[in-house]
């Protein structure tokens, strides 16, 4: 009974709605859930980020198991990303601790970085195809050693963005991998990106837990709604026009991005 008392209907509903959108668009939940927690529920930005990171680690674990079963995970690529993201995540958690997670400086850093990450996510949703076409014409196939190094560097960037804002592992990561591995099937890129996101979000989430920025009652309520929501969204996705949905979502992310940049 005590567990049921911790379930909060509004958070369950939010998890359900975000889960449906994630299932329909494939965009990482952090792009949607963290802004919801901050703007609608007035949760402290660092607590919202930390709670969402553990939430993401749970939901992405299920996705990784499915992709691995289907053979759509390239563990070499996931490992390269982790080589950059894991140390950067640890360093970023340490910096947040030094700055004081409840301090004004951390509040400003999280909201501004979140705004940047949301804007980059929106751009990747709108211009992914155009960027890939330009890249293919002007850059072409890169040297294998350079691809390896760039993958590690991208992992480090994702580690920084995700640990501070919980955003970036989804649309930004997929877009980067599509540019670095143009011959790899899309399903394998998505699966590899999700597989990498599990240790990234788990490590970042545990780091936030250690510095005291997790609300487990909110986390439980979000999971109750998001798990069935993601399943439902995945079934609905083939019936919804993808370009229109992605453009609408990108527009919403840009509006939210502006709200964070003018945060008072």
35 in Cβ contact with 207 (< 8 Å): no
Q: Please state the rounded mean pLDDT for residues 33-53.
A: 87
Residue 35 lies in a domain: yes
CA dist 160 and 92 (Å) reads 6
pLDDT for the residue numbered 32: 78
CA dist 53 and 59 (Å) reads 10
Q: Which among 200, 238, 219, 214 has a CA at the least distance from the CA of 28?
A: 200
Residue 5 lies in a domain: no
pLDDT for the residue numbered 26: 58
Please determine, for residue 54, whether its predicted confidence score (pLDDT) is greater than 50: yes
More confident call, 227 vs 75: 75
Residue 88 lies in a domain: yes
Residue 3 lies in a domain: no
List pLDDT tens digits, range 249-261.
778 778 778 777 7
Q: Which span out of 46-50, 82-86, 103-107, 189-193 was modeled with the highest average pLDDT? A: 82-86
* Site of tokens 């920025």: 213
**Token pair for 126:** 């709108």
pLDDT for the residue numbered 232: 75
DSSP structure class, residue 246: H
More confident call, 84 vs 182: 84
pLDDT for the residue numbered 5: 57
pLDDT for the residue numbered 55: 82
Domain that holds residue 221: 11-20+29-261
End-to-end CA distance of the chain: 40
More confident call, 191 vs 104: 191
pLDDT for the residue numbered 24: 65
List pLDDT tens digits, range 86-105.
999 999 999 888 887 666 77
| pLDDT tier, 25 (very low <50, low <70, confident <90, very high otherwise) | low
The number of residues in the chain equals: 264
CA dist 211 and 62 (Å) reads 26
- Provide the 10 A C-beta neighbour count for residue 102: 13
Residue 238 lies in a domain: yes
Counting the structural domains of the chain, the total is 1
Contacts by 101-104, CB closer than 8 A, 24 or more apart:
101/46, 101/211, 101/212, 101/213, 102/44, 102/46
Percent of the chain past pLDDT 90, that is, above it, reads: 18
Residue 222 lies in a domain: yes
Please determine, for residue 7, whether its predicted confidence score (pLDDT) is greater than 80: no
Percent of the chain past pLDDT 70, that is, above it, reads: 87
Residue 6 lies in a domain: no
CA dist 34 and 40 (Å) reads 10
Q: Which among 14, 1, 62, 2 has a CA at the least distance from the CA of 221?
A: 14
158 in Cβ contact with 81 (< 8 Å): yes
Residue 1 lies in a domain: no
């Amino acid at each position: 009974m005590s567990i049921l008392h911790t379930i909060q209907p509004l958070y369950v509903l939010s998890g359900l709605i975000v889960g449906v959108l994630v299932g329909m668009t494939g965009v990482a939940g952090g792009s949607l859930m963290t802004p919801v927690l901050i703007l609608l529920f007035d949760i402290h930005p660092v607590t919202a980020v930390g709670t969402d990171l553990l939430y993401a680690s749970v939901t992405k674990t299920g996705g990784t198991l499915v992709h691995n079963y289907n053979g759509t995970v390239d563990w070499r690529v996931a490992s390269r990303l982790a080589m950059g993201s894991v140390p950067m995540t640890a360093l970023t958690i340490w910096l947040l601790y030094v700055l004081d997670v409840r301090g004004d400086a951390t509040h400003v850093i999280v909201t501004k970085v979140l705004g940047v990450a949301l804007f980059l996510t929106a751009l990747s949703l709108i211009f992914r195809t155009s960027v890939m076409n330009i890249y293919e014409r002007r850059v072409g196939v890169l040297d294998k050693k350079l691809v390896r190094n760039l993958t590690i560097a991208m992992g480090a960037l994702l580690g920084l963005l995700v640990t501070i804002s919980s955003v970036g592992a989804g649309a930004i990561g997929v877009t980067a991998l599509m540019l670095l591995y143009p011959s790899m099937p899309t399903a394998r890129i998505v699966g590899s990106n999700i597989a990498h996101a599990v240790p990234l979000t788990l490590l970042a989430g545990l780091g936030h837990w250690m510095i005291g920025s997790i609300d487990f009652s909110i986390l439980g309520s979000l999971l109750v709604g998001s798990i069935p929501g993601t399943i439902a969204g995945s079934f609905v996705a083939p019936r919804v026009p993808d370009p229109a949905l992605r453009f609408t979502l990108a527009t919403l992310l840009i509006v939210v991005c502006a709200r964070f940049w003018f945060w008072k």
